[in-house]
Amino acid sequence: MKMLIWAGAIVVIGVILFYVFRKAIGADTTSIQKEMVYGPFVIRANAITGKVYNINYGMTTQTNVSYSIWFEGKPVEFPSALQTNTGLPFLWRVSALPDAPTPTLLAGSQSLYMIYVKDGQPMVEPVIEQSSDFASVQFLDSEGGQPGAYMQVFSRSDTIGMDQLDTLQGGRYLLVSEHTVLDVHTGKQMVFNKDNNAVDNYSYPQPDGALAFSPDRKKIVFNAAFQSWNTEQANLPDSEHALIVYDFENDKGYSVLYDDTDTRMKNFEDITLDWFNTYFEWNANGDTLSLKKWDNLPYWTGSFKEKDNYYYLYPVKASMLPVFRDFVLQQMGWSATNILKDTTAEYSGRTIEIGTAAMKLDIVFKEDEQQISFSRGLYENDSPEYKAMVEKIARAFDAELSSGKHQEHFGRIYSETKRILEL
């Protein structure tokens, strides 16, 4: 009898522990389902929220949104490559392609597929299949014939907007994961540089996405960086940057080298289409790119970073420091008596603190980096007043620079690799 009692107790304890463990690992979950219709397809979104263990934060709440596509009451089946190495073996995103000739979807995770109906049957056509990188999409011609926003494909982690089908429209040529151009109007795919080979030892894109699109709509322009790791120090170029012009129909490209100084390329990640149009040009046929020829190069200006509220001048000589310091003092209506500190440290450079008890501003000069930065005082609390003042002075000094003043205080931009190697 005692054995039966003990056996019953063990069973009860086991059941209790089972359900406690299930709850701890997230077995108790909530689920939300939504349906969307696009042409002959039904897209189902399923959001599951539950507790999961995070190695950094312990037990946390996590939401995963999975999608499935249905045709005539049956789920559309995808190749096994969809599930490779993601840890989330389902469709992360589904987007409609409204400009396609028939109702067409672009769906997947790290791998992306085009889904449409042919001869009464759903077709699943691979656009890119991969196992490591995040997929990406970018129209090459959605902004006045030039590239639109570069967007990576991530799984959805909240339920906001999950009942609204994503759309990809506004252009004809869709760059998918930087290796396939999809002609949305015809469904034609053009795969290029699938092995990610460098051109003239320049790797691209650096950073992500296309910079420009040729007038003949056959070539993509990418930012590129020299592969210094495979080059002898003596053979390193003066400029490690170039543009790659790639013919995606014929799968070949060429490099257009440029000098950072002569193109006023101060920050590789800040390159814009305006910069491209200022220093480069297409030939009359719209198929060949070259550097513009200048009798007099555009004047140097500074850069105001609105997000971080600071202004910097680069590349500058030491002689620019007193010029800019005096300019700030004049703009503020201050004098030399408002110079509160002037110190130099090995790693932080020379710091000039100017101001009053009510407002303090910092000017920092790092000679080895050829840079002056200007911002509110290091220990001052951020405020709209500081933001307005820093921006006002930045715009005013840029206006002087744009008129041709102080250009003699700018230097040259040197190869970063050469500088690091102290060549």
Q: What is the pLDDT along the chain (423 residues), one digit of tens a residue?
A: 444 444 444 433 443 333 333 444 445 678 899 999 999 999 999 999 887 766 777 787 788 899 999 999 999 999 988 876 667 788 999 999 999 999 999 999 999 999 999 999 999 999 999 888 899 999 999 999 999 999 999 988 888 888 899 999 999 999 999 999 999 999 999 999 999 999 999 999 998 999 999 999 999 999 999 998 898 888 888 778 999 999 999 999 999 999 999 999 998 888 999 999 999 999 999 999 999 999 999 999 999 999 889 999 999 999 999 999 999 999 999 999 999 999 999 889 999 999 999 999 999 999 999 999 999 999 999 999 999 999 999 999 999 999 999 999 999 998 777 666 664
d(CA 159, CA 30): 12
Q: How far is CA 378 from the centre of its chain?
A: 29
| Same structural domain, 246 and 107 | no
Q: What is the pLDDT of residue 9?
A: 46
| Same structural domain, 293 and 209 | yes
Q: What is the pLDDT of residue 418?
A: 65
Q: What is the pLDDT of residue 415?
A: 73
Q: Strand runs (DSSP E) across 270-392, as ranges?
A: 280-282, 289-291, 303-305, 310-313, 339-345, 349-355, 360-366, 371-376
d(CA 198, CA 204): 7
d(CA 336, CA 293): 44
| Same structural domain, 177 and 70 | yes
| Domain end point (choices 191, 219, 247) | 191
d(CA 226, CA 216): 27
| Same structural domain, 137 and 50 | yes
| Same structural domain, 223 and 288 | yes
CATH number at residue 353: 3.30.310
| Same structural domain, 292 and 377 | no
| Same structural domain, 198 and 208 | yes
| Domain end point (choices 161, 191, 221) | 191
Please state the pTM of the whole predicted model: 0.86
| Same structural domain, 291 and 327 | no
| Same structural domain, 41 and 179 | yes
Q: What is the pLDDT of residue 34?
A: 93
Backbone Cα Rg of the chain: 29
| Same structural domain, 280 and 314 | no
| Domain end point (choices 191, 207, 241) | 191
Q: Is residue 57 part of a domain?
A: yes
Query: What domain range is 61 assigned to?
Result: 26-191
* Overall number of domains in the chain: 3
